[in-house]
Amino acid sequence: MSAAAAPLPRRKDLLDIESLAPEEVVQLLDTARPFKELFTRSVKKVPALRGKSVLMLFYEPSTRTKTSFEIAAKRLSADVTNFAVSTSSVVKGESVLDTVETLQAMKVDYIVVRHSSPGVPNLIARHTRASVVNAGDGHHAHPTQALLDAYTLREVLPDLAGRRVLIVGDILHSRVARSTSRCMHKLGMEIGYFGPGTLVPDTRPDFARGFTSFADALAWKPDVVYLLRLQLERMHASFIPSLREYHTVFGVTPARFRQIRDAGIWVMHPGPVNRGVELVDEVMTYERSLINQQVENGIATRMSVLYSLQPVTEARADDEGAGP
Ligand code: CP
């Protein structure tokens, strides 16, 4: 009889994928499953975080991550506060740390933060007792995107070990590429990178194999093609000659779409999609496009993350239910 595995220690923060052991990744994905099952019931809420407060601190725009974190926190019965950066004292020059110190005084339990500068969530985490979740920091990391991607893939490919994912596009500026490729590697997948020479970092991780043409990359027989958004807002120089040329060489054109469909390859994209650049419209309705499933799974995986973290603010058992 094998000994039962020791429970994994609970973390205060989720800042990146690198610092997670593969078993922790698997545990977060397994924990998400019952949360997703909840969505088919008439009552979609559980009391797991009742009495806890979640602060959404988004210094950069977001549709999917912000909305799904908010829904996730509410389905766990937490109180959610949206910090509106554009109408806050940030516009008067208040620093991130001063903002966090002010909000800390309000005793929040969880801070979900997105910022254009890499490392800001780590900085906040060091200065607060609240659990900090990185919702995307510059080109550094987007760990919950990686988890929802892995969760989505496990729904269609239950055993990911040995499966191949080809990541295509603007890898240099992509926190998604960095986090998702590491997450998939931790789950035993083989990783391929293909993109313009100017948009693939020189320091490609050892586990990622590079390709110089879409034809070679498809000949590698990937199970999944993961298209990245061309991040025009982070490009401060001319990395590609034109969007039309990018589409022709690196996009899923009608001809490449036929190849992908004939080979039964799954397609993923973190969104938002630049239609006509990364892909043609038909890909959005392809039966093996996982793009909408990725969005749907954002809620359950983010519920799993919030549920699994342990803020230092956590009340002692004898405080629970006590009046003021
Ligand atoms: N994938 C992703 O992070 O999307 P949003 O920018 O809309 O949150």
Q: Which one is predicted more confidently, 76 or 6?
A: 76
pTM of the model: 0.92
Digit-coded pLDDT (tens) for 22-71: 999 999 999 999 999 999 999 999 999 999 999 999 999 999 999 999 99
CATH class of 143-294: alpha beta
Q: Is 136 in the pocket of ligand 1 (CB under 6 A)?
A: yes
- Calpha distance 267→167 (Å, rounded): 10
Q: Residue ranges per domain, the chain?
A: 22-142+296-311, 143-294
Q: What pLDDT is recorded for position 94?
A: 86
Q: What pLDDT is recorded for position 77?
A: 98
Q: What's the distance, Cα to Cα, between the start and end of the chain in Å? A: 50
Indicate the pLDDT class of residue 263, thresholds 50, 70 and 90: very high
Q: Is 65 in the pocket of ligand 1 (CB under 6 A)?
A: yes
Q: Which one is predicted more confidently, 129 or 233?
A: 129
Q: Do the first three CATH levels of 22-142+296-311 and 143-294 match, i.e. the same topology? A: yes
Q: Is 293 in the pocket of ligand 1 (CB under 6 A)?
A: no
Q: Is 270 in the pocket of ligand 1 (CB under 6 A)?
A: yes
Please tell me the least confidently modeled range out of 5-9, 60-64, 86-90, 254-258.
5-9
- Calpha distance 230→35 (Å, rounded): 32
The fold of 22-142+296-311 is Rossmann fold (3.40.50)
What average pLDDT does this structure show over 276-293?
Answer: 96
Helix (H, G, I), strand (E, B) or coil at 209: strand
What average pLDDT does this structure show over 217-226?
Answer: 98
Q: Is 295 in the pocket of ligand 1 (CB under 6 A)?
A: no
Digit-coded pLDDT (tens) for 180-210: 999 999 999 999 999 998 888 877 889 999 9
User: Which residue in 264, 316, 313 sits closest to 156, CA to CA?
Assistant: 264
Closest residue by CA, ligand 1 atom 6: 62
Q: Which residue has the tokens 């230092």?
A: 312
| Cα 301 to averaged position of ligand 1 atoms, centre (Å) | 14
Q: What pLDDT is recorded for position 156?
A: 98
Q: Is 64 in the pocket of ligand 1 (CB under 6 A)?
A: yes
**Ligand 1 atom at minimal distance to the Cα of residue 229:** 1
